[in-house]
């Protein structure tokens, strides 16, 4: 039985992809240190989270069926510490949290990595854009500020980002010392600081978490985000999801536009920044009174004064947009050429196979058998004989 289970339940856009990549790729090293990260594929814990929360996710939910039970079976059979991590778990309802906690044998600890809202809001919009959404930045921010939270986009955002509520749902039944808040350091801090804090919380060797590899999410600038959003409008419905994932999200965003940000960083309009600061202060006040274990400083959750000017992605600079458009076009042409080369190679393989097949068909034995089969079509005796032969042989074709 696991001695302790850390459930890292969010929040999105706090380096979770890199963290999960490090844990997944170094499962053996972790196991040697008495830590289990139960997953047989990179997105194994994501599927388990979908299953726990009964969430449809573009068809992936079919693969997710039963994944939570498989995950907990592995976790419960482990010794030492177990880490379960996925940022969408933050959205679980109390009923689902009860199911999750009661299905795990070890001492449960809740871990939340948290970042200030002034960085979370633009990052979440960009994440939405990378997932085919076409909502404009201003509309997105309006939806989030609507107190009624009537739009699905707001319901989702607050479900996975509203720290006091997430911690209420996940940590409400646990002693506060078993609820850990890890704050994301402010801009300009050493790159390894977040990893150090997480490692200290989970009792890991910090070196493990400094290997985030290429799973860290791409960072888009204003013009890049505007371009992808406009592209989504054009591609809506007509491009199937699997192609969108390959050509837009993976190739265009992750491998090209997101590698080097050439346009301004996306920030908040001044009035939204002030509102985000006010909301954050109220959260910090609530969290400070709860006695949770904090790695970092809750004050880091209050947005710093805005130093960068706000550049509106709904009205991007045409010159910048065209530059980004050219980069995207070049990347798409190169990708098309690469795929064309693959296609040519495959055609050569097919031609070679067809030639070998033709040669096989030219043998006397093959032609005799072909004539016999053809004869059996018109002759009942031959037909019965062939059927008997096939029954005796047990299959209707030889293995190749």
Binding site for other proteins (CB under 8 A): 51, 53-56, 61-62, 64-65, 91, 93-96, 98, 147-149, 152, 155-156, 158-159, 162, 164-165, 168-169, 236-238, 282-283, 286
Task: Return the closest-CA partner of residue 12 out of 73, 89, 83.
Answer: 89
Nearer to other proteins by Cβ, of 279 and 382: the residue is: 279
Nearer to other proteins by Cβ, of 159 and 171: the residue is: 159
Nearer to other proteins by Cβ, of 158 and 310: the residue is: 158
Nearer to other proteins by Cβ, of 56 and 318: the residue is: 56
* Whole-number Å distance between alpha carbons of 219 and 236: 23
> Token pair of 209, please?
């978490």
Task: Return the closest-CA partner of residue 68 out of 45, 93, 92, 91.
Answer: 45
* Whole-number Å distance between alpha carbons of 55 and 70: 17
**CA angle, 312 as apex, 306 and 316 as ends, to 5°?**
140
**CA angle, 185 as apex, 182 and 188 as ends, to 5°?**
165
Nearer to other proteins by Cβ, of 289 and 309: the residue is: 289
Least Cβ distance, residue 237 to other proteins (angstroms): 4
Least Cβ distance, residue 41 to other proteins (angstroms): 17
Residue whose entry in the numeric block shows the structure tokens 């999750």 = 100
> Token pair of 66, please?
């039963």
Least Cβ distance, residue 176 to other proteins (angstroms): 17
Nearer to other proteins by Cβ, of 147 and 380: the residue is: 147
Answer whether the bond into residue 11 is a cis peptide, omega within 30°.
yes
DSSP state, residue 308: S
Helices (H), the chain: 16-25, 27-32, 44-53, 60-64, 67-77, 94-102, 117-130, 137-145, 152-161, 163-171, 193-202, 206-209, 222-235, 241-243, 270-288, 318-361, 364-378, 380-393
Task: Return the closest-CA partner of residue 91 out of 51, 130, 62, 49.
Answer: 49
Least Cβ distance, residue 52 to other proteins (angstroms): 10
Least Cβ distance, residue 327 to other proteins (angstroms): 27
Nearer to other proteins by Cβ, of 75 and 100: the residue is: 100
Least Cβ distance, residue 361 to other proteins (angstroms): 33
Query: For residue 347, how far is the Cα from the chain centroid?
Result: 34
The two beta strands, 4-8 and 107-114, are parallel
Nearer to other proteins by Cβ, of 147 and 394: the residue is: 147
Contacts of 75 (CB under 8 A, 6+ apart): 2, 5, 36, 38, 82, 84, 104, 105, 106
Least Cβ distance, residue 10 to other proteins (angstroms): 13
Least Cβ distance, residue 93 to other proteins (angstroms): 5
Least Cβ distance, residue 214 to other proteins (angstroms): 29
DSSP state, residue 16: H
Nearer to other proteins by Cβ, of 61 and 317: the residue is: 61
């Amino acid at each position: 039985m696991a001695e302790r289970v850390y459930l890292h339940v969010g929040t999105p856009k706090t380096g979770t992809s890199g963290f999960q990549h490090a844990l997944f790729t170094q499962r053996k090293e972790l196991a040697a240190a008495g830590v289990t990260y139960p997953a047989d594929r990179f997105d194994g814990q994501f599927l388990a989270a979908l299953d726990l929360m009964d969430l449809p996710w573009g068809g992936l939910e079919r693969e997710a069926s039963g994944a939570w039970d498989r995950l907990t079976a592995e976790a419960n059979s482990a010794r030492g510490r177990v880490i379960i991590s996925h940022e969408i778990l933050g959205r679980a309802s109390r009923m689902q949290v009860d199911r999750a906690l009661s299905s795990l044998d070890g001492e449960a600890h809740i871990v939340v990595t948290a970042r200030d809202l002034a960085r979370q809001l633009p990052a979440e919009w960009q994440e939405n854009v990378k997932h085919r959404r076409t909502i404009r930045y201003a509309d997105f921010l309006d939806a989030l500020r609507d107190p009624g939270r009537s739009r699905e986009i707001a319901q989702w955002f607050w479900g996975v980002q509203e720290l006091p509520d997430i911690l209420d749902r996940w940590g409400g039944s646990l002693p506060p010392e078993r609820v850990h808040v890890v704050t994301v350091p402010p801009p300009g801090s050493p790159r390894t600081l977040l990893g150090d804090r997480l490692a200290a919380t989970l009792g890991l060797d910090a070196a493990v978490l400094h290997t985030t590899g290429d799973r860290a999410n791409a960072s888009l600038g204003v013009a890049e985000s505007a371009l992808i959003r406009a592209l989504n409008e054009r591609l809506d419905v007509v491009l199937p999801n699997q192609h969108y994932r390959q050509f837009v999200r993976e190739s265009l965003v992750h491998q090209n536009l997101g590698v080097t940000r050439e346009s301004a960083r996306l920030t908040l309009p001044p009035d939204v920044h002030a509102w985000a600061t006010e909301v954050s202060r109220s959260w910090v006040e609530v969290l400070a009174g709860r006695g949770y274990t904090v790695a970092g400083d809750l004050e880091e959750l209050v947005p710093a004064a805005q130093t960068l000017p706000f550049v509106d992605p709904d009205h991007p600079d045409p010159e910048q947009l065209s530059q980004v458009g050219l980069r995207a076009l070049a990347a798409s042409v190169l990708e098309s050429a690469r795929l064309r080369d693959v296609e040519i190679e495959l055609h050569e393989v097919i031609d070679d196979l067809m030639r070998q097949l033709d040669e096989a068909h030219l043998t006397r034995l093959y032609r005799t058998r072909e004539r016999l089969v053809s004869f059996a079509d018109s002759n009942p005796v031959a037909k019965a004989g062939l059927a008997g032969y096939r029954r005796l042989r047990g299959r209707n074709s030889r293995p190749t």
